[in-house]
């Protein structure tokens, strides 16, 4: 029982690499490769693949438009988006457009194969819409700081090092009010009530120098 | 026809032809301005790709390795965290330089992405209400995106605001974008426009858009653009 896949990506090396990797798997067969959305639509109509693996940014016709057209003609098509973009807006837009899954190009071969199997079996496979997810694949990070934004993490380290809000504002070239806003957001997100608690928590998590 | 009438008629004809030439010249200049902005966009796109594919790839490799090691010691965990920040910054820089999300997904997700990227890190809460007409020309999308970007960067840099509202609506082939912050505001008569404000003004006029900036000390700042499509 082989899963037939059509793959579309204008990046030839990427596409061939992925194809080769997938073809070496005994239950997956890449039956066609396409360079853009227009080719993809023709190929899908011709081959009716089990899974469509496609990029978003492509010449001639973008992935978003292609998904629309494919689903208009093959409502049950199983589309797995393979993208370099880890932002929530991308994931949401593809989910809304009717894709069954979304996986990052930087994911490992195994997670790609897993995702293809899941989608082929009629399941959906989207990553946590959490920007800080490096694997892009249904996995959680353990670092307590992953809930903080990049700027909040900077402030976190400065608070942990014992700096006052005034000093932090100076160091990061922001207004005192902004620094205090960051501080209170960090406390809220990490469920802390004081800098002493923050330092204790940082120490426990091994985040102090 | 009397002599006077004849003379009047020929003056009118001359005026009309001068006006026509002026309009033509204006149209040529406006086309030129549009072309220059398009050129700037494509330069930025090139640079953005280099950043992403060059430093970006190196940092991705570094971050992944450090992540694998980060369980071993707190110091390595900190290094991973720093490398991750650098990667995040390079990606953000590259994407802000050339917002591929505009081509990929369209103006609405692109504006939401912009707000999130510029404001979330700055402890500024924001709301966006976006109601787009069906088909917006690509150059108008870029215009609106760049104006929003410049305006929000100013909000972050200068306003010390705690909230921002971005609304976009349309009525009879005119799109209107409002960006309002509740920050400290400034005296628009006293403050000289810098590169940021001048460039969005120039850019707006290339597309016959109206740009209005209303601000007063202590009263926040509102930027409004209306553009015909
Ligand atoms: N949202 C804002 N809140 C307060 N001041 C602002 C805001 N936007 C612009 N300004 C003022 O207008 C000036 C000119 O802005 P701009 O032309 O973008 O140049 P720059 O940002 O490089 O200073 C700023 O230096 C600032 O004083
Ligand atoms: Mg500015």
Counting from 1 in the atom list of ligand 1, the atom nearest the Cα of B181 is 1
| Residue keyed to tokens 């050129």 | B39
- CATH of segment(s) A3-130: 3.40.50.2300
Kindly state the tokens that stand for B130.
């976006």
From B41, B73, B98, the end of a domain falls on: B98
Predicted ipTM beyond 0.95: no
Sheet containing B174-181: which strands, arranged edge to edge?
B125-130, B163-171, B174-181, B221-228, B210-215
pLDDT by residue for chain A (209 residues), tens only, comes to: 899 999 999 988 889 999 999 999 999 999 999 999 999 999 999 999 999 999 998 888 889 999 999 999 999 999 999 998 888 999 999 999 999 999 998 888 899 999 999 999 999 999 875 443 334 343 333 467 777 887 888 899 899 888 999 999 998 888 888 899 899 989 988 889 888 888 888 888 777 76
CATH class, domain A144-204, is mainly alpha
How many Å lie between the centroid of ligand 1 and the Cα of residue B38?
A: 25
Same domain membership, residue B143 and residue B88: no
Q: Tell me which residue in A153, A175, A185 faces B160 most closely, judged by beta carbons.
A: A175
Which residues 6+ apart lie within 8 Å of B180 measured at CB? B164, B165, B166, B220, B221, B222, B223
- If you measure CA to CA, which chain B residue comes closest to A181? B123
Cβ distance A153 to B81 less than 8 Å, yes or no, reads: yes
Interface test with A, best of B104, B110, B120, B122 (most A CBs within 10 A): B104
Neighbours of A173 (CB within 10 A): 8
Kindly compute the dihedral angle of the four CA atoms of residues B37, B43, B45, B48, in this order, to the nearest 10 degrees.
-130
- How far apart are the C-alpha atoms of A71 and B7, rounded to whole Å? 70
Whether residue B9 is found in the same domain as residue B62? yes
> Which of B89, B101, B160 lies nearest to residue A177, judging by beta carbons?
B160
Q: What are the backbone angles phi and psi of residue A142, rounded to the nearest 5°?
A: -95, -25
CB distance A43 to A54 below 8 Å: no
My answer on whether B130 and B206 are in the same domain is yes
Chain B contact set for A62 (CB, 8 A): 103-104
Burial of A150: CB neighbours in 10 Å, binned 0-12, 13-18, 19+: buried
Q: Do B162 and A89 touch (CB under 8 A)?
A: no
Best mutation site among B186, B188, B189 for ligand 1 pocket (most ligand atoms within 8 Å of CB): B186
Ligand 1 atom with least separation from CA of B195: 17
Strand partners, A3: A28
Same domain flag for B14 and B75? yes
User: B207 and B128: one domain?
Assistant: yes
Q: Which among B52, B80, B98 is the end of a domain?
A: B98
Burial B168-193 (b: 16+ CB within 10 A, else e): bebeeeebebbbbbbbbbbeeeeeee
Asked if residue B215 and residue B126 are part of one domain, the reply reads yes
Q: Which of residues B77, B98, B119 is at a domain's end? A: B98
Domain span at B179: 105-229
Do B103 and A57 count as a contact with CB atoms less than 8 A apart? yes
For ligand 1, say whether the CB of B151 is within 6 Å of any of its atoms: no
Domain boundaries, chain A: 3-130, 144-204
Q: For position B158, which CATH number holds?
A: 3.30.565.10
State pLDDT tens for residues B16-37. 999 999 999 988 888 898 899 9
Contacts of A199 in chain B (CB under 8 A): none
Asked if B122 and B225 sit in the same domain, the reply is yes
Model pTM greater than 0.95?
A: no
């Amino acid at each position: 029982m082989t899963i037939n896949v059509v793959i579309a990506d204008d990046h030839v090396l990427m596409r061939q690499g992925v194809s080769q990797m997938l073809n070496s798997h005994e239950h997956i067969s890449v039956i066609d490769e396409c360079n853009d959305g227009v080719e993809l639509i023709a190929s899908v109509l011709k081959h009716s693949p089990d899974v469509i693996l496609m990029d978003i940014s492509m010449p001639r016709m973008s992935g978003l438009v292609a998904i629309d057209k494919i689903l208009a003609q093959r409502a049950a098509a199983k589309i797995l988006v393979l993208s370099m973009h880890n932002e929530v807006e991308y994931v949401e837009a593809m989910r809304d457009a009717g894709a069954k899954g979304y996986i990052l190009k930087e994911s490992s071969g195994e997670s790609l194969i897993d995702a293809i199997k899941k989608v082929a079996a009629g399941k959906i496979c989207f990553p946590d819409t959490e920007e800080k997810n490096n694997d892009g694949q249904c996995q959680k990070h353990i670092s307590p700081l992953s809930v903080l934004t990049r700027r909040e993490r900077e402030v976190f380290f400065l608070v942990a090092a014992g700096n006052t809000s005034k000093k932090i504002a100076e160091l990061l070239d922001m207004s005192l009010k902004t620094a205090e806003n960051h501080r209170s957001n960090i406390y809220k997100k990490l469920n802390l009530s004081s800098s002493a608690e923050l330092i204790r928590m940082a120490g426990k998590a091994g985040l102090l120098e | 026809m009397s002599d006077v009438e004849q003379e009047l008629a020929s003056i009118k004809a001359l005026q009309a032809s001068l006006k026509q030439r002026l309009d033509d010249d204006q149209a040529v200049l406006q086309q030129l301005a549009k072309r220059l902005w398009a050129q700037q966009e494509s330069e930025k796109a090139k640079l953005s790709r280099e950043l992403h594919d060059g430093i970006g790839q190196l940092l991705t490799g570094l971050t992944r390795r450090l992540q694998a090691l980060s369980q071993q010691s707190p110091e390595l965990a900190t290094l991973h965290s720093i490398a991750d920040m650098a990667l995040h910054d390079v990606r953000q820089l590259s994407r802000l330089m050339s917002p591929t999300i505009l081509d990929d997904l369209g103006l609405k997700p692109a504006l939401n992405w912009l707000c999130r990227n510029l404001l979330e890190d700055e402890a500024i809460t924001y709301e966006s209400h976006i109601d787009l007409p069906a088909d917006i020309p690509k150059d108008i999308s870029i215009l609106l995106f760049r104006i929003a970007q410049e305006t929000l960067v100013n909000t972050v840099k200068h306003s010390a605001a705690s909230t921002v509202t971005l609304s976009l609506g349309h009525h009879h082939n005119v799109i209107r974008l409002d960006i309002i912050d509740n920050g400290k505001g400034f005296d628009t008569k006293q403050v000289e426009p810098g590169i940021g404000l001048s460039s969005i003004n120039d850019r707006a006029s290339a597309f016959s858009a109206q740009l209005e900036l209303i601000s007063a000390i202590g009263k926040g700042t509102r930027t409004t653009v209306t553009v015909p499509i």
